[in-house]
């Protein structure tokens, strides 16, 4: 990691942006603040931030516009911070390309953990690693072998690809349609039964108790979150 990562805070409520800046500066980040979409886009282009924290309700439009603009040119992690609790809002932001969604009010500790997760994921996308470890699970990318506690699991190719997608996006809410698009391909976004079937079969193979999953956590109405212990902040 670089010595000082830069965070672009897009927030029109000065009370919140000041609080964020205070917390993040203490965590060792640099910060720039934009109060609207226009200045956010300008600051994004000028500063090339490492992370973007984005409010959705902005005076000159919807924050999702910025997600679209950024995604057309960069992989910069975007964490939405919003008071909008509706499932459709969360799904829409994630499907547009946001990496995570934090509901207001939020704690500084929670936010720091989400930021670190997003940074790790970005490192994970750069395929330098031969294997991914989450808790007791080890997935070897080249050899297509998955093991749990050193016992090899027999997965079908689709189960392997689904698990690989989850393990590359640890602790992140991923929507149904995004998983279907990434694992099955464009055109499969609405084939919810495929996903449900394969999540069930995968759970039977990787979970200690498939009826009370510890890895593949259901996010009602939105998608799934793959819980990965070693990716989370283990200082709590
Ligand atoms: Ca706002």
**Same-domain status, 114 and 208:** no
* 21 close to 44: Cβ distance less than 8 angstroms: no
Residue 235 has pLDDT above 50, yes or no: no
- CATH of residue 176's domain is 1.10.10.10
Strand partners for 148:
137, 151
Instruction: Tell me how many domains the chain contains.
Output: 2
Q: Which one is predicted more confidently, 236 or 20?
A: 20
Distance CA 139, CA 130 (A): 9
What is the CA(54)–ligand 1 centre distance, in A? Answer: 9
| CA distances from residue 86 to 53, 91, 101, 226 in whole angstroms, order as listed | 19, 9, 12, 21
| Structural domain of 140 | 131-234
Tokens representing 156 are 């079908």
CA of 12 to the centre of ligand 1 (A): 5
pTM given for the model = 0.70
Q: Is the peptide bond before 105 cis (omega within 30 degrees of 0)?
A: yes
Verify that 136 and 35 share a domain, yes or no.
Answer: no
- Quote the ligand 1 centre to 16 CA distance (angstroms): 9
Chain centroid to CA 183: 16
Residue 125's pLDDT is: 55
Q: What is the pLDDT of residue 142?
A: 79
Say if residue 113 is in the same domain as residue 135.
Answer: no
CA of 56 to the centre of ligand 1 (A): 6
Q: Are residues 137 and 219 in the same domain?
A: yes
Task: Give domain status of residue 230, yes or no.
Answer: yes
- Cα of 225 vs centre of ligand 1, distance in Å, is 26
Task: Please give the C-alpha separations between residue 161 and each of 15, 46, 122, 156, in angstroms, as whole numbers.
Answer: 44, 37, 19, 9
> What is the separation of C-alpha 84 from the centre of its chain, rounded to a whole number of angstroms?
18
Name the pLDDT band for 95 (thresholds 50, 70, 90).
confident
Share of the chain above pLDDT 70, in %: 92
Q: What is the spatial distance between Cα 176 and Cα 151, in angstroms, rounded to a whole number?
A: 29
Same domain, 142 and 114: no
Residue 11 CA to ligand 1 center (angstroms) comes to 6
Ligand 1 mean position, distance from CA 4 (Å)? 27
Do 24 and 114 belong together in one domain? yes
In a domain, 201, yes or no: yes
Taking only the tens place, the pLDDT of each residue in 39-56 is: 999 999 999 999 999 999
Same-domain status, 139 and 205: yes
**Residue finishing a domain among 102, 122, 142:** 122
pLDDT digits (tens, 9 = 90+) for 160-178: 999 999 998 888 899 999 9
| Per-residue pLDDT at 50 | 93
């Amino acid at each position: 990691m670089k010595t000082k990562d830069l965070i672009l805070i897009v927030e029109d409520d000065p009370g919140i942006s000041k609080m964020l800046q205070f917390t993040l500066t203490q965590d060792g980040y640099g910060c720039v603040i934009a109060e609207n979409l226009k200045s956010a886009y300008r600051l994004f282009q000028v500063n090339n931030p490492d992370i973007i924290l984005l409010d959705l309700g902005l005076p000159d439009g919807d924050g999702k516009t910025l997600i679209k603009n950024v995604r057309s040119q960069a992989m910069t992690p975007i964490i939405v911070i919003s008071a909008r609790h509706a499932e459709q809002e969360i799904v829409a932001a994630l499907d547009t390309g946001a990496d995570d969604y934090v509901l207001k009010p939020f704690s500084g500790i929670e936010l720091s953990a989400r930021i670190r997760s997003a940074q790790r994921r970005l490192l994970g996308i750069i395929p330098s690693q031969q294997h991914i470890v989450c808790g007791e699970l080890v997935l070897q990318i080249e050899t297509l072998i998955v093991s749990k506690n050193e016992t090899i699991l027999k997965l079908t190719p689709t189960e392997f690809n689904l698990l690989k997608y989850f393990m590359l996006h640890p602790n992140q809410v991923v929507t149904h349609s995004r998983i279907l698009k990434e694992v099955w391909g464009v055109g499969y976004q609405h084939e919810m039964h495929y996903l449900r079937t394969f999540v069930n079969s995968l759970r039977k193979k990787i979970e200690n108790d498939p009826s009370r999953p510890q890895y593949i956590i259901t996010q009602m109405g939105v998608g799934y979150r793959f819980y990965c212990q070693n990716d989370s902040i283990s200082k709590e």
